[in-house]
Amino acid sequence: MSLDKVLTARDLRVEFGLPGGRVARAVDGVDLDVAPGEIVALAGESGCGKTTLARTLLGLERATGGEVAFGGVPLGRSTKALKAYRRQVQLVLQDPSGALNPRHTVYDAVAEGLRIHGITDDEPDRVAEALSRAGLRPPERFFLAYPHELSGGQRQRVVIAGALVLEPSILVADEPVASLDASVRGEILSLLLRLKEDAGLGALVITHDLGLAWSIADRIAIMYLGRIVEQGPVEQVLTAPRHPYTRALVSVLPDSPVAEPIVLAGELPDASRIPGGCRFRPRCQEVASGGALKVLDQCEGVDPAVLGPDAEPHLVACHLDRVLDDPARMAA
């Protein structure tokens, strides 16, 4: 695959020092690609490291290992390098009410990125173009509006317009609809889908909502305790999940393709106490039920390898999955 305009992470690691000398491994070896023209969903529970991963991809958090690159060029640490990078990779925040300054007009909110990047030519045209791409038409009508005069969906469109104004190749959206009312969500998700289809924009959408991934994403990566444990095309991962964790997540959804709900006991362990061997083992239903008996010593002793970004279409970090040779068994 050509790396032109592709956002890549290779063996990315982010560690935080905690009081008492402990170390939290928030991101613990992640390979991920996001190319223009595709929507990748990154899903997992709170505390799995998905937001830290997103912040690191944007250069807001420093990686302690591995590499983030755009178009094959590693992300530098200088202000200049970060600025150039952020013209290409833009962030869309979760809560539009918090992301917008209540005393700035829509025009100022959208033009801010241009001003920071010193782009002074055709400012009104660029702002108008970004607003109309975000579905706020006619754009001039919104120039002088303040955030409180807009609906929740319109506010989120303004936030997206602020990201689009720099004409980036990739958007990183952290829970882009979590704070919106249910009926308004579809409007924003349709917009992301349209930007991908019409303008070839790429997006990494971070979410805890698998239904959202089903609605818009092409590929999905499931994250557990700092590591991606399964990734592949949405249709395969969500309708025939192979990792026990993904199967459990999918099984508790209403009308799930997995027949019996598998409710895992306990909660996500602390990132400073990642279990040895397979990190999912202490909660794994296959280990608990004896289904993983023949690979149990591997589950206990061997950490499954980091999944490559695109070596195979559907990748699973599970010892049991590797010995079960018939991949169709879950679908049956």
Residues binding other proteins (CB under 8 A)? 45-46, 151-153, 181-187, 189-190, 193, 208, 210-212, 214-216, 234-235, 238-239, 248-250, 252-257, 261, 263-265, 267
Residue with Cβ nearer other proteins (190 or 289): 190
Parallel, antiparallel, or unpaired for β 7-17 and 65-70? antiparallel
Residue with Cβ nearer other proteins (8 or 285): 285
Structure tokens at 73: 């060029």
Residue with Cβ nearer other proteins (9 or 203): 203
Residue with Cβ nearer other proteins (119 or 178): 178
Shortest CB 181 distance to other proteins, Å: 4
Shortest CB 249 distance to other proteins, Å: 6
Shortest CB 207 distance to other proteins, Å: 11
Neighbours of 98 (CB within 10 A): 10
Residue with Cβ nearer other proteins (123 or 187): 187
DSSP 47-83: TSSHHHHHHHHTTSS--SEEEEEETTEEPPSSHHHHH
Using the Cα atoms of residue 111, residue 114, residue 119 and residue 125 in order, give the sign of their dihedral: negative
- Helix intervals (H) in the chain: 50-57, 79-88, 96-99, 106-116, 123-133, 152-164, 182-199, 210-216, 234-239, 244-251, 285-289, 296-301, 319-323
The residues, any chain, with a CB within 8 Å of residue 11's CB and separated by 6 or more, are: 29, 30, 31, 65, 66, 67, 306
Crossing angle for the helix pair 152-164 and 123-133, nearest 10 degrees? 130
Single out the residue of 27, 29, 30 nearest to residue 7, CA to CA.
Answer: 30
Shortest CB 325 distance to other proteins, Å: 25
Shortest CB 65 distance to other proteins, Å: 27
Let me know: does 226 contact 193? Beta carbons within 8 Å. no
Shortest CB 171 distance to other proteins, Å: 16
Let me know: does 223 contact 42? Beta carbons within 8 Å. yes
Tell me what percent of the chain is helix, strand and coil, each rounded to the nearest 5: 40, 20, 40
Residue with Cβ nearer other proteins (104 or 194): 194
Shortest CB 42 distance to other proteins, Å: 15
Residue with Cβ nearer other proteins (10 or 279): 279
Crossing angle for the helix pair 182-199 and 152-164, nearest 10 degrees? 20
Shortest CB 238 distance to other proteins, Å: 5
Residue with Cβ nearer other proteins (217 or 306): 217
Q: What does each C-alpha distance from 246 to 221, 282, 313 come to in angstroms?
A: 10, 15, 16
Residue with Cβ nearer other proteins (1 or 265): 265
Shortest CB 189 distance to other proteins, Å: 4
